[in-house]
Structure 1
Amino acid sequence: MSNSASTIPPVSAAPVPVAPAARPAPTAAELGAAMELIAKPRLDAYRSFFNCSTDVELIGAYLWGQAVAGSFQPIVSTYEVVLRNAVHKHASLFASKSTSESHPWYDHTRPEALPTKGKSRDKIDDLLYEPPSAGLRMRRAVQPSPDQVVASLSFGFWPNFLQGLTKFQRQKILHEIFPYYPNGSPKHWSFDANVNSLIDTLKKIQDLRNRIAHYEPVWKPHRLTGSERHWSQAVLGLRNEHARILDVLQWCCPATPVLYKVSFGWRAFNIICTTAAVQAYMATPFAPYP
């Protein structure tokens, strides 16, 4: 009988990481050409707010702005997936009378459908119906599954949907979506002021996500509290935005922030969204960063 272990190939040693060769800094001509395409109005906002005295400092501030926007991506994407899945699960359970965690609660032709209106209703109809022809819309022969519908809905759908729930619906559904919300009993969600506070929080996160997706500077004061007069205050404002997202994740599922805080995304954000990182980028924008 042959020894099966002898057929197992040996485990190779892990390759030793090799640092990439250092690249030369861009020449003055290259820097000027790049800045011309980025455009003066866009760069002037950085020059003024970050008090840049040289083009090197200016491009450093700009590169930091890119980096800090990118450092939000892991937590924003986690938030979007967790929120939409929590809403879908508990909307499904409510509409199906606890028989299904993936139910077409959005289908307004069904008697148990939950309310959608305006652009939210239009987004649902685009998924369930063929494009209009002669003013009529035919139901698609093959209907997408509830999971497919939920995955196709935009980030902005969810706050608007939650805002449109009736008082009876939101007492049950919001309590289940956010079981760890402070003082978030079903009765808590019967009051409009409490619901509006939650929706305002969700829409502020939506606004941050849209700024990142559309390549807008995330640090601008009018996008934060409006009171930031120095870039160091904007750094603090961005850290507060990050903390807001962590709060919502905590309200939905406390295990999610625990997982995020051992990820590269957490470490990257806490390196980049600091005053030390701003100063480093402005001083030596072409140096490699961890």
Structure 2
Amino acid sequence: MQNHLTAPRLATVQRFFDSRSSTDLMGSYSWCQAVAAALLPILGDFEVSLRNALHRSLSQFYASTDSAPWMLPISGPVHAGAPVPKTPHSMSSIDKKEIEKIIDRRSKRGRAVGHDDIVAALSFGFWEQLVNGLGRASHPNGLQARALTLAFPAAPAGTIYASQQFRERIVRLLRAVRDVRNRIGHHDAIWAIPEFDMQGYPGFIPRRPRHTLISTRLFASRIAWLASWIDPAVGNHIQRSDHWDCLQRLLSRHALATYRRRGGRAGSYDAVIEGSDTLGHIGTFHF
């Protein structure tokens, strides 16, 4: 496999984990893949909950229903049947083009296009920009306060939903989440996830493997915390899932050492679960 991974990419992994052998190097690389794989469904639960919450809140604002085509009018054949807002939601030309591309793709395949289909296909970045754009003067009065109240009813006590500060706080938090999502999607440096505080401001960037363990645990906790703004049940679901349990097991010195000693070959995660594979070997790796 090493022959099919670029030398610069492997060199980055080798430097960060201070790998001393080919087995150690591939084990470190495989451990990062395992962590990314465990994070993805956690991020997925958050993303689906987020987009549905924002879709529901805008539908309620514009059409007093849980699902309406608030993004209309847009070009292309759109499936009818839902209440149509009297005033469409104001969006940037980039956001409109993303919606039009979704409609065009589905239409070319001969599929009916409903607003729920559009919502499901929109990128994570679309929702971040949608929140960011809630402060536009072109929006109806009270849109931001109503939309964010409905989308994040369990936000911290004292939240002023109409404030610029709260909107910007959500945007910063979503941007930090999107960064990690993109790292996973592009097979990027998952070992260097920047920490961010409860306001969404970036902070410490891991410099050693032991930092990665702590920072990634913190990131997962931030996801569950932010998801709980939508509904505490969402955060609880994330933290009680098998994916969460898998991630917590992987984020230990024992798990990382197990992957490094075994070169990430099949059965490495089983060895982590069994808990006996690397006893006495942890000290041979640099953390």
The TM-score, its normalising length taken from structure 1, stands at 0.77
**Equivalent residues in 2 for 1:24-173 (5 A)?**
34-96=1-63, 98=64, 100-108=65-73, 111-127=86-102, 144-166=113-135, 168-173=142-147
**Equivalent residues in 2 for 1:145-224 (5 A)?**
145-166=114-135, 168-183=142-157, 185=159, 188-220=160-192
Q: What is the Cα deviation at residue 223 of structure 1?
A: 8.2
Change beyond 3 A, Cα 1:36–1:213: same
The CA distance in 2 between the partners of 1:277 and 1:57, in whole Å, is: 13
Q: Which amino acid aligns with 1:144?
A: V
Larger Rg: 1
The CA distance in 1 between the partners of 2:104 and 2:6, in whole Å, is: 43
Change beyond 3 A, Cα 1:130–1:261: closer
Contact 2:135/2:164 (8 A) holds in 1? no
Is it true that 1:264 corresponds to 2:242 in the alignment? yes
Q: Which amino acid aligns with 2:152?
A: F
Instruction: Please provide the CA RMSD for this pair.
Output: 2.4
Q: What is the Cα deviation at residue 201 of structure 1?
A: 0.3
Q: Deviations over 1:167-203 (max 9, x none)?
A: 7211111111111110254xx1222122111111011
Change beyond 3 A, Cα 1:189–1:90: same
Residue identity over aligned pairs, in percent, reads 27
The CA distance in 1 between the partners of 2:3 and 2:236, in whole Å, is: 43
Q: Which amino acid aligns with 1:169?
A: L
Unaligned runs of 5+ in 2: 75-84, 137-141, 197-202, 271-287
Q: Secondary structure at the match of 1:114?
A: coil
Q: Which moved more, 1:262-271 or 1:106-115?
A: 106-115
Q: What is the Cα deviation at residue 129 of structure 1?
A: 6.5
Q: Deviations over 1:114-160 (max 9, x none)?
A: 221131111123345699xxxxxxxxx99722211111211211010
Q: What is the Cα deviation at residue 258 of structure 1?
A: 2.1
Q: Which amino acid aligns with 2:133?
A: G
Match of 2:218 in 1: 240
Match of 1:26 in 2: none
The TM-score, its normalising length taken from structure 2, stands at 0.78
Q: Which amino acid aligns with 1:104?
A: P
